[in-house]
Amino acid sequence: MASFLQNVINALQAGSFYALIALGYSMVYSVLMLFNFAHGDIFMSGAYIGFFISSGLVSLAVAGLLPLPHWLILALTIVLAMLATSLLGIIIERIGYRPLRNAPRASAAITGLMIGIILETGNLRLFGAARRNFPALIETRSYQLGGVSITNTRIIIVVVSVLLMLALHQVVRHTKWGMGMRAMAYDYVAVPLMGVSGSSIAVMTFAIGSALAAAAGILYGIAYPVLDPYMGIIVGWKAFVAAILGGRGSVIGAALAGFLLGFIEIFVATIFPSTVRDLIAYSIILIILTFRPHGFFGEPYSAQLRL
C-alpha cells in the first residue's frame, strides 16, 4: 500500500509536467486549429530561460549585491521566465504562424517543426552542448507519512501546477479573453465578424500556452536538475499525445490526460522493466485512440487537412 501511494505521488508529479505542457498544445489546437509542433521546444526554452534567470539571481545573491532568500528567487524566476517565454511564444506566432493563417494546415505543421529545430539549434549555439544544472533553490526535505516518503519539491511542483491550472480555468471561464478563446474554438470565422480581433486572441492563446510551458520547464528543472537542448523532444511529444488523448476543445481533458499519462508511465514501470515503459505507454494510447479517435472529452469532429 505504501509503495502504491508512493507511486501515486510520483505519478502526480510526472503528470504535472505533461498536463501543463498539454494545456498549451490543447489551447492552441482548440482556438487556432493548429498543432504547434514547436511547443515542446518552447517548454525547453522556458526551462533554459528559467535556468539563466535563477542562476543570475543566485550569483547576485552570493555576491552580496542582491541578497534575496531562495524562495523569492524561485518565485521571481517562475514569474519572469513565464513572461519572457510568453513573449517568445508571441514572436513565434507572429513570424511563423500568422502568415500561414490561410495556408493548408499541413504547411503550418511543417513550420512548427522547423521553428522547433531553430530553437534547439539556437540553444546549442548559444550555450554549447554541455548540459546545464538547474541551481538548487529548494532545500530538499523529506516527510514521512505512514511509510510514504514525500519530498517537499514534489509537493511544491504538484501544488504550483494545480494552482496554475486553476488560474487558467478562471481565465478561460471568467474573463473576456477566455470567452474570446472559447468562441474561436467553436467558430473562428464568426469571431472577427463580431468585432473581436481574432489575431489578439491568437496572441493571447500563444502567450498563455507558452507561459504554462515555461512554468512546466522550471518545475522540471527543479525535479530533474539536468537540462539538455533536446528535452523538448522527449517530454514535449508525450505531452502532445496526451493533449490529443484529452480531446479537441477540452482544456480539462488535456490536463486530465496529462496526469493519466503520468500515471500510465509510473505504474507501467512498476510492472515492466523501464525500457519498455515508453513502448507500453504509447501502445495503450494508440489503442485508445483507435477506438476513440477524438479523445476523452473531444467532439467527434474530424478535422480535414485540406491541400
Partner 1 sequence: MPIERAGLTTRRVGPVRLLAKMRDAFAQVPLLGWLLGALAAVIVERFAGYPLALDVGMSEMPALFGLENVFGQPALIPGTILYVLLIYLLPLGIVAWLSSWPANWLAKKLLRFPQRISLLIHLALLYAVLSQWASLGDYRVLLLKFTLIAIIVTLSLNVVNGFMGEFSCSHPGFMALGAYAASVVTVLCFVHNKILGAPLLPHAPGLLIFPLSLMVGGLVAAFGALFVAIPSFRTRGDYLAIISLAFTFIVKSLIENLEIVGGARGFMGQPDFASLPAVFVVAALSVLTINNFVRSTLGKALNAVRDDETAANAMTVNTRRTKMTAFLFSAFWAGVAGGLFAHVIRYVNPGSFGILKLSEVLAMVYLGGLNSVVGSIVGAVGLNVLMEALRPLEILKWIVIPVLLILVMIFRPTGLVAFREFKVEEMLKPKMKPPER
Residues found near partner 1 in the complex (CB under 8 A) = 35, 96, 99-100, 103-104, 106-111, 113-118, 120-122, 124-125, 233, 237, 240-241, 244, 248, 275-276, 278-279, 282-283, 285-286, 289-290, 293-294, 302-307
Q: In angstroms, give the least distance from the CB of 124 to partner 1.
A: 6
For 81-102, letters b (16+ CB in 10 Å) and e give bbebbbebbbebbeebbeebee
* Closer residue to partner 1 (CB): 12 or 281: 281
Query: For residues 78 and 213, which CB has a smaller minimum distance to partner 1 in the complex?
Result: 213
Dist CA 296 CA 292 (whole Å): 7
Nearest approach in angstroms of CB 277 to partner 1 is 9
Of 79 and 289, CB closest to partner 1:
289
In angstroms, the CA 163 to CA 196 distance is: 29
Q: Closest separation between CB of residue 286 and partner 1, Å?
A: 4
Alpha carbon dihedral 169, 170, 174, 179, in 10-degree steps, equals -40
Minimum CB distance to partner 1, residue 301 (Å): 10
Q: How far is CA 59 from CA 2, 63, 128, 243, in A?
A: 40, 6, 21, 38
Nearest CA-CA partner of 11 in 269, 283, 297, 294 = 269
φ/ψ of 66, rounded to 5, equals -145, 75
Least gap, CB of 283 to partner 1 (angstroms): 6
- Min dist. Cβ of residue 215 to partner 1 (A): 23
Cell output for 160: 504550483
Nearer to partner 1 among residue 103 and residue 167 (C-beta): 103
Pick the closer one to partner 1 by CB: 130 or 307.
Answer: 307
The 10 Å Cβ neighbour count of residue 126 is: 10
Closest CA to 253 of 29, 6, 85, 4: 29
The smaller minimum CB distance to partner 1, of residues 23 and 211, is found at 23
